[in-house]
A and B are shown apart, each in its own frame.
Chain A
Amino acid sequence: MKIRVEHLSKRFGSFVAVDDVSFEVADGSLVALLGPSGSGKSTLLRILAGLESADSGQVWFDDESATDLHTRMRGVGFVFQHYALFRHLTVERNIGFGLDVRGVDKASVRRKVKELLALTGLSGLEDRYPSQLSGGQRQRVALARALAPEPKLLLLDEPFGAVDAKVREELRQWLRRLHDEVGVTSIFVTHDQEEAFAVSDRVLVVHRGRIEQNGTPMEILDNPATEFVARFVGEVNVLPASLRGDTAHSGALQAKVSGEVPAGLAHLVIRSYDLKLWREDPGVATVQRVVTFGDRVRVQALVDGAGPIVAQFPRRSSLLKNIVPGSRVQIEVTTARAYPAETSSLHPMAAAQ
């Protein structure tokens, strides 16, 4: 089912949770709403499910208005952050609930439940109660329960937030496979960019109740539309800069930038892995710290007249030769973007200079 959202707004008291949001979700796609906590992404999801009513705006399911439709009439499957399994019912009764309340006959319910147990790898657990399951199992029961009535839209609120890191990775891949198998249009909420990029077809970056960018994972990584998006996805350096033509000057550092920003004061945004740095005297910066973690090395340096920056390298990189705290280094920026300076405050690290 295709979803269209037009000018949706919702406030709680004086707090604006959703601020004039519009977007579309193509039939059969898997979309992530990515944003920090409190950005309004969960509220947006709850409005789509009818669990929250918008103050203004429209929701369309396949060109039919769903704005005023009651939750139970929407045909939406919802997976809650903490599962919200019925604790007084067995796994089997949990999964069958959506069919039971519709008056589907018992034999059909049993058949459908069996099918879903197999699909979600839960066969053999049908008589357990939710309290007797592990986090990952509860998560899958919640998914099976949401899928049982064959929803036209599946909504997942931080679906992997409450399980540990290893199980999360497994569940993530499993969700993608499941989505490809079932093919139901799905929207999930996450604050974890890695999760959003690993699983979804498109990512909507949400910030302060607005959609900052709507694009494929690659588009968002390569072409962050706003400074917020650039900062939110991956480790970045933000330096105050003055822009002339396509070159930004920040202290002793120069960088060619993409993005259409008028000349003048700007924020220069550089990913930590879009920097090259080598030993050279006099150079433009002094190395402060060199930290190794796993197969990566992080180098912190203080750029003359600009501020501290962080660069990441593979551990075996030849560039790292002789680089120790106190070394003078030259810096080359391979890719950088500039954003208007007035949009938001500087990174505390960059502002420290």
Chain B
Amino acid sequence: MLESVQQTQTADVTPTTLAAVSAFAEPTHLRWAHLQPAGRALLVATVGLYVSAILLGPLAALGVELAHVGLGATLQALAKPNAIAALKMSLVLTAISVVVNTVVGTLGALAIVRQRFWGRALVNALADLPLAVSPVMIGLAFILLVGRDGWLAPVLDRIGLKVMFSFTGLVIATLFVALPYTLREVVYVLEELGTSEEEAAATLGASPWQVFWRVTLPNIRFGLGYGVLMALARSLGEFGAVLVLGGSISGQTQTATTFIHDALEERETAGAYGMAVVLALTSVVLLLGLEWAKRQKKVGRP
């Protein structure tokens, strides 16, 4: 089907436009040709079943349960002040995380890729730390640092900053777990981009500021967007670190995820399912956004 379409196109286009067209065609070299049809079917079926069972199954169960409890009851549970406060808290934390990660991710990646400084490799490796360790452990480590008997407790007491079980703690926890996502993605696209376009801009008289806004940023924008969306998803879904550092105090430091946890403990299933569905729907929107950004990243590469 695809081939026949391409053939009719080749008839009346110049070689130049043909090159442009083929850039969008599916790269056939990425496919396995040596697999027998039966083998391929088996591979596809296995992956399909696994993904359905592990991803779609729970989501479907959530939908069914929600129907059980009833939409009215769910909305009622979600309209309670502590539910609204938790959702609000999650949104505020996510918004802060997105802004900070956009800036820090971009500047950090520029420093790691474009600058040569002492300790660069160490910074580059440490940036992945939050990916490697459990958020609960991170929370615990922060307690040792800023908790009541923590190393920094005297300093924090003096300046009157409360970290544990406070908004500040939640912000730190969220920023920490989401840090690598934007940074990694921007590092990757910057390395792919190379320096020659930036050098060309400099020879044409562009200031470093102009080079960034007119050349670097437009070229990394979809990669940056992808990274920011990942950071957003991670911030919204974080549970362990915000639970340990924030304590999930209802109406104060409770987030959407810890709200679900607490609601389940207290057998308020309507609230738990409702909040879970809200997060799930957000995820769907995020997924669509990620998919779009991923596609855009590929377009326009010569």
Contact = CB atoms under 8 A, between A and B. Distances in A.
Answer yes or no: do A and B interact.
yes
B219 A97 contact: no
B288 interface: no
Contacts of A97: 201, 204, 206, 214
Interface string A32-63: 00000000000000000111000000000000
A209 interface: no
Interface string B11-23: 0000111011001
A68 B95 CA distance: 44
B207 A72 contact: yes
Contacts of A149: 204-205
A109 B262 CA distance: 63
B301 interface: yes
Given A76-B203, A78-B203, A149-B204, A131 B196 contact: no
Nearest to B207: A72
Nearest to B14: A134
Given A72-B207, A131-B300, A86 B200 contact: yes
B204 A145 contact: yes
Interface of A: 49-51, 71-72, 74-78, 80, 82, 84-88, 97-98, 100-102, 129-134, 137, 145-146, 148-149
B215 interface: yes
Contacts of B200: 78, 80, 84-86, 145
A46 to B, nearest CB: 9
B202 to A, nearest CB: 4
A72 B201 CA distance: 8
Contact of B201 (A74, A76, A82, A101): A101
A101 B214 contact: yes
Contact of A131 (B23, B197, B199, B203): B23
Given A101-B205, A130-B302, A80 B23 contact: no
A71 B301 contact: no
6 contacts: A51-B202, A80-B200, A87-B300, A87-B301, A101-B205, A131-B19
B203 A86 contact: no
